[in-house]
Structure 1
Amino acid sequence: MAERRCGTAPPPADRTVHDRDWDTLDLDGHRHERTAFAEVDLTGATARGAVFRECTFRGVEFNTAELVDSAFLNCAFTRCSFFDASFTDCKLVGSVFDGGAFDLLKVDGGDWSLVGLPGADLRRASFTGVMMREVDLTGANCAGTTLHRVDLADAWLHGADLSRADLRGSDLSALDPLATTVRGALIDPEQAFTIAASLGLRLG
């Protein structure tokens, strides 16, 4: 399990949901707390206003799921698949991801602050207009990732690969270009000033 940067690990589950076929299930308004989901198929599931609090997900398939205005608070995801899944205005504060697949994952809006994604392969994922304050992207592969208008204040970016990433409009105040790969990344002029200042450069 990846180390949880902030907060505590989810407590032991009060109940377990194992090996269920919930593909295309409508999860609107579902409420789950301290529940462990193991090998559950949520392919194509939809959810609006669902809340999962202190839950664990192991080997769960979220492929092509469409999650809107839902919350996964202080949850843990281990070896889960998010192929072509979409999170719109969702809150994942304090959750942590260990392994898993994120190809074509789309995150639009919402709050992913204090989320742990160390070492994650996010090369084909996109994040737009998301709050990701203090997110842990240590060693993450974000080469070519879209991180557009993302609040990355106080993010952990050491060892992350942001080469060719679209970083326009994002808060890069936590970026150390000497400890992060940024070759070919797309930034705007204001961000260039921020990075120059972090290197101690003066613009004439």
Structure 2
Amino acid sequence: MPEPIEDVTFHDEDWYAEELSDRHYLRCAFNRVDLTEATSRGAVFDGCTFGDVLFNVSRHTDSAFTRCVFVRCNLFEAEFTGCKLVGSTFDRCDLRPLAVTGGDWSFVTLAGADLRGARITGVRLRETDLSGADLTGATVHRADLSDVQWRGARLSGADLRGSDLTGLDPTAVQRAGAVIDAVQAATLARALGFELRD
């Protein structure tokens, strides 16, 4: 990993289709930077701020965006594979249709986020804030959703099979048509106070 670029502000830069391999940014600010179709592999962004940044159709693999803040960013068709976003916050971002495979998104703030149709597979989302988020029609398979904040979330038509729903209060979310498996059904039944017997 190279020496980090620290405390630098990038304004109105065109990084279209840039390859961001093995770069390290620490406490940097990115304002109105165009990262459309950019790719990152093994890059590290720690404590950075992204404001009005275009991540459209960008691809990120084994990269880290830890303790970062994303404000009014556009992530149209962005893909994250094996990435670490622990402790990051998304505020008024366009996240549709987002694809996340693997990685660790624990302690991420996605409160009120529009995640309709998102594809989230094998991701660790422990203690993530999804309160008020709209996951209508989303696919969330084999995700660790333990201790997630769900209050007011919309899960209508979402496919949640294989995910850890420990801590989900079914009465606190919109859930019509959500798809779960038998193990999850038993977990939710117990959460509602039912005793399961053969």
TM-score by length of 2: 0.95
Asked if the contact 1:76/1:97 (under 8 Å) is kept, the reply is yes
1:55 aligns with 2:36: no
Q: Give the letter aligned to residue 85 of structure 2.
A: L
Map of 1:19 onto structure 2: 12
SS in 1 for 2:29: strand
Distance 2:187 2:175 in 1: 14
Map of 1:113 onto structure 2: 106
1:188 aligns with 2:178: no
SS in 1 for 2:157: coil
Distance 1:203 1:72 in 2: 42
Alignment gaps of 5+ in structure 1:
1-12
Map of 1:148 onto structure 2: 141
**Where do 1:74-153 residues align within 5 Å?**
74-153=67-146
Distance 2:24 2:176 in 1: 43
1:161 aligns with 2:130: no
TM-score by length of 1: 0.92
Distance 2:14 2:139 in 1: 32
CA deviation after TM superposition for structure 1 residue 102, in Å = 1.1
Distance 1:26 1:161 in 2: 36
Asked if the contact 1:102/1:124 (under 8 Å) is kept, the reply is no
Distance 1:146 1:92 in 2: 19
Distance 2:10 2:51 in 1: 10
**Deviations along 1:143-198, whole A, 9 cap, x unmatched?**
11111111001000010001110100001012101111111101000000000000
Distance 1:53 1:86 in 2: 19
| Count of residues in Structure 1 that have an aligned counterpart in Structure 2 | 192
CA deviation after TM superposition for structure 1 residue 71, in Å = 0.1
CA deviation after TM superposition for structure 1 residue 202, in Å = 2.0
Q: Which runs of 4+ in 1 moved over 4 A?
A: none
CA deviation after TM superposition for structure 1 residue 49, in Å = 0.2
